[in-house]
């Protein structure tokens, strides 16, 4: 096996970007300082930013020839990756997907390459370390880092490394990516899980790194968190409909939330109709206080409420997508 210190392979790095003025400059500065000088290429696929993001990238590109600004007319992240890999991927064995607003350790890219070299995996995914700043973000972070918010999802927990079905996308073998057709650009959300399903079905292996992870910041308002999880639910439903699969147990529980709340309206005629919604709310609130008392997390009680927002939005989004008439267009 190769250690990280002996890894010399270079990678294509792709960063989808749309109005990331406050973050893209810092990500590029960090990358250019952390990576070896030769062979690496950093493509920022911009979906038409209007906030000056493109100017920041162009200034960085003028100072470092490894950086390229690529126009992404379809605007979606999935389209950004597909376009960049199609344009530049033939010269590389692997590419790395990064987020313009993410935070990464110094050796992030080199650790991913080392994982790929040691395991022979076709995709290396990472865990998310969720961190918040304001009260909503901190509470959402506690919820997303706990089983009440993530259902035990592998990439939402600190991993020691192992083969998985899905994780937060990081490094992927170009040949495997192209062999299964890249991202499905009709997916505005959940495109990563949809691609992972096709990779696994085609016999490719997905490894979750135990040596590196990225920092993720939750939405900073309840309305934004609700919209995010509404779209997550829609994306998951579209994924299940496309591949005719059955939801995992950890997904079946929250998708029952919306029907339970709607059913609670029948309590005027049948009091027991309140029970499912009451049990769900009590479980979330109770778990929040458990996190406060047993785990000593000050934002535990509010995290229980954030988990309720996440569950309810995800469930609504799922049922909206399941019940709508398929059109074949982007969601």
**Does residue 116 carry a pLDDT above 80?**
yes
- Report which listed range, 116-130, 144-158, 236-250, is most confident: 116-130
DSSP per residue over 153-187, as a string? -GGGS----EE-S--EEEEEEHHHHHHTTS--TT-
| pLDDT grade for 253, boundaries at 50, 70 and 90 | confident
Single out the residue of 40, 39, 49 nearest to residue 17, CA to CA. Answer: 49
The answer to whether 294 and 209 are in contact (CB under 8 A) is: no
Mean pLDDT score of the chain, rounded to an integer?
89
The answer to whether residue 2 scores a pLDDT higher than 60 is: no
**Cα(232)–Cα(315) distance, integer angstroms:** 9
* Spatial separation of the C-alpha atoms in residues 322 and 320, rounded to whole Å: 6
255 has which bridge partners? none
pLDDT over 90 at 150, yes or no: no
Asked whether 139 and 223 are in contact (CB, 8 A), the reply is no
pLDDT tens per residue across span 49-89: 999 999 999 999 999 999 999 999 999 999 999 999 999 99
Q: How many CB atoms lie within 10 A of CB 231?
A: 18
In the predicted structure, residue 216 carries a pLDDT above the cut 50: yes
Whether 15 contacts 96, CB under 8 Å: no
What pLDDT, on a 0 to 100 scale, did the predictor assign at position 37? 74
pLDDT band for position 326 (50/70/90)?
low
How far is the C-alpha of 313 from the C-alpha of 58, rounded, in Å?
Answer: 38
- Residue 331 reports pLDDT greater than 50: no
Fold exhibited by the domain 4-221: Spore Coat Polysaccharide Biosynthesis Protein SpsA; Chain A (3.90.550)
What is the residue extent of each domain of the chain? Answer: 4-221, 224-323
Q: Which residues of 139-167 are buried (b: 16+ CB within 10 A; e: fewer)?
A: bbbbbbbbebbbbebbbbeebeeeebebb
- 26 alpha-carbon distance from chain centroid: 20
């Amino acid at each position: 096996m190769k250690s990280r210190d002996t890894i010399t392979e270079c990678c294509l790095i792709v960063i989808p970007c749309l109005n990331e003025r406050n973050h893209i400059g810092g990500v590029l500065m960090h990358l250019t300082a952390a990576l070896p000088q030769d062979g690496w290429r950093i493509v920022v696929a911009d979906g038409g930013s209007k906030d000056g993001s493109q100017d920041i990238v162009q200034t960085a590109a003028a100072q470092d020839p490894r950086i390229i600004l690529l126009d992404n007319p379809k605007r979606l992240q999935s389209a950004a990756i597909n376009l960049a890999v199609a344009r530049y991927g033939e010269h590389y064995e692997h590419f790395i997907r990064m987020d313009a607003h993410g935070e990464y350790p110094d050796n992030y890219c080199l650790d991913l390459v080392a994982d790929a070299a040691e395991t022979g995996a076709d995709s290396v995914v990472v865990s998310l370390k969720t961190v918040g700043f304001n009260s909503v973000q901190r509470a959402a972070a506690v919820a997303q880092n706990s089983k009440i918010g993530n259902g035990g999802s592998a990439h939402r927990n600190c991993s020691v490394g192992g083969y998985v079905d899905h994780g937060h996308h990081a490094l992927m073998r170009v040949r495997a990516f192209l062999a299964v057709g890249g991202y499905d650009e009709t997916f505005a959300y959940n495109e990563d899980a949809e691609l992972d399903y096709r990779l696994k079905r085609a016999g490719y292996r997905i490894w979750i790194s135990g040596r590196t992870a990225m920092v993720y910041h939750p939405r900073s308002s309840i309305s934004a968190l609700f919209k995010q999880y509404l779209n997550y639910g829609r994306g998951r439903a579209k994924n299940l409909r496309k591949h005719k699969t059955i939801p995992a147990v950890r997904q079946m529980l929250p998708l029952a939330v919306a029907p339970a709340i709607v059913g609670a309206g029948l309590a005027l005629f049948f009091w027991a109709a309140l029970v499912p919604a009451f049990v769900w709310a009590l479980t979330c609130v109770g778990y929040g206080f458990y996190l406060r008392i047993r785990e000593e997390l000050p934002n535990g009680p509010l995290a229980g409420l954030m988990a309720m927002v996440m569950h309810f939005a995800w469930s609504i989004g799922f049922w909206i997508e399941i019940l709508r008439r398929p059109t074949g267009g982007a969601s």
